[in-house]
Amino acid sequence: MTWLRAAALAALSVLAPATGAHAQDITLSSRDGKVEISGTLLGFDGEFYRVDTKFGELTVDGSGVTCDGPACPSLTDFVAEITLSGSSTMAEVLLPALVEGFALRNGLQTHRETLDQAHFVYSLHQTRRDAPMARFTFHVTNTDEGFADLLANEADIVMALREIRPGERERAQEVGMGDLTEANRARVLALDAMVPVVAPDNPVQRISTADLARVFAGEITNWSDLGGPDAPIALHLPTAGSGLAQGVEDRLLGPARVPLAEAISRHTRSSQLARAVAADPFAIGIASFAETGTARALTLTGPCGFSLAATRWTIKTEDYPLTSPMFLYLPARRLPKIAREFLAYTNSSAAQIVIRRAGFVDQSAELIRMGAQGDRLANAITTAGEETPVEELQRMIATLSPMARLTTSFRFETGSSRPDAQSRSNILSLAHALETGAYDARKLVFVGFSDGEGPAQGNTRIARKRAEAVRDAVLNAVETAHPKSVEIGIEAFGEALPMACDDSDWGRKVNRRVEVWMP
């Protein structure tokens, strides 16, 4: 039977977990009654059954069978159930805005119901009088709890403010959820950043990343050491299991090789942290860029004199060193059709507008003219010397001045040639733009830059190889034929245009990049 062959071939795949009543025994019979499969219903997505049988776990097309048993779902009144768990920053504003945007685009009505402090539900209806066709249930916790819920089969989608950790990835593979680092399992939904914030009347305006790490390690305890008043520093961070707090440990304290201080006030919501810091003139916290509230963000500096503030452009380009992509993680199981449509919508241009209006940084490409990049050029002039002569700077300016830089940039994991998470997302986004003709009759120039470690000529060669590798990755990701109407170029200027000081791992990472420029 065709449906049975399909079931056997699909035995390695999985569907969304069963919801409502506890999973129970069912019997699936072919239309002619000659073949039956009995087992425990594990899930139904409106199209396919997932059943645990004596043959193992099988996935069966519902159109080819009849179902008998108390757990059999209704094929006509099916309600898609999607559960999201994780980051409160994403659950409180971003995802609800996207659910409402998705419903509006598809002519659906939404109804929100608060279950308790940590749970709420969005139901989608054809009209207000109709029964729901889908329910999006949100568990407002943190990134740690989101992954725990996924591994326990209590969530379909994780909302995360950090990348999945090796232990979580291994456990997901062990329980049959596939590799959550694959492109179709991990996606960047929007962009954020970890921003040091103080009260508006705090006189300190800037702080180096090294000093920021020492502050949160408890090594700097008085504002006078940072050019402020003679007063003790009060530390604030999100709750320990949140992706933002873990990002502080992994990306700020880890490279500095210092432990986190013990005397820290913790907050379950980034918005609560910002309010607490804004009310205390001697407090400092690290908050989400989207939720700084009335607190004031400090500009990050380096010992070589460079400075970088968190803005929409510097976050999009990853020029700001503490960027924090916002992830959705999906297991290797089939989600209901409306969930798949919603996930496709989150990549659309309409969704990028919703993301921006919700206060987060979207991923739509923008052009930055040379005239708006004064700080970058000042940095280049400041660091020019024997390794980067004036002639090389003049060549760079002559090449790039007639063009504008796309915010779509590419950086690499520390100590690796592998693009980092945001850059892997950018590869897919740029490939999609090429497929849809967004750059037809235009020229894209992939421009490589390096850090200042080693000889300048060697760095320029490495930068060119990185530019070529990113170009190849983008073109390989194009699913249709190679776009003949787009001219592709390669350039490299090595260490001629640094973004940060080279005296730290994060500074060198910021400087090792591939940019995209357009005439």
What value does the mean pLDDT of the chain take? Answer: 87
Q: Which amino acid is at 46?
A: G
Q: Where does the pLDDT of residue 20 fall: very low under 50, low under 70, confident under 90, or very high at 90 and above? A: very low
The per-type count for the chain, helices as H runs and strands as E runs, is 17, 27
Residue 111: the pLDDT is 95
Q: What is the pLDDT of residue 127?
A: 87
Task: Give the containing element (helix H, strand E) for 351.
Answer: helix 349-357
Task: Give percent of the chain with pLDDT exceeding 90.
Answer: 51
Q: Integer distance in angstroms from the first to the last C-alpha of the chain? A: 59
Model confidence pLDDT, tens digit, residues 203-217:
999 999 999 999 999
pLDDT at position 191: 94
Higher pLDDT, 125 or 500: 125
pLDDT of 350-372, one tens digit each? 999 999 999 899 999 999 888 77
Amino acid identity, position 90: M
* Domain annotation for the chain: domains and CATH numbers: 2-68 (2.30.30), 140-362 (3.40.190.10), 365-518 (3.30.1330.60)
Q: What is the pLDDT of residue 490?
A: 97
Where residue 385 falls among pLDDT bands split at 50, 70, 90? low
Q: Residues 398-409: pLDDT tens digits?
A: 899 899 999 999
Q: What is the pLDDT of residues 288-300, one digit of tens each?
A: 998 899 999 999 9
pLDDT at 467: 95
In SS3 terms, 36-79 reads as EEEEEEEEECCCEEEEEECCEEEEEEHHHEEEECCCCCCCCCCC
pLDDT category at 123 given cuts 50, 70, 90 is very high
249-259 average pLDDT score:
90
Mean pLDDT of 169-184: 87
- The answer for 56, left when phi > 0, alpha when psi is -120 to 50, beta otherwise, is left
Phi first, then psi, for residue 37 (nearest 5°) are -130, 125
The reported pLDDT for the residue numbered 74 is 76
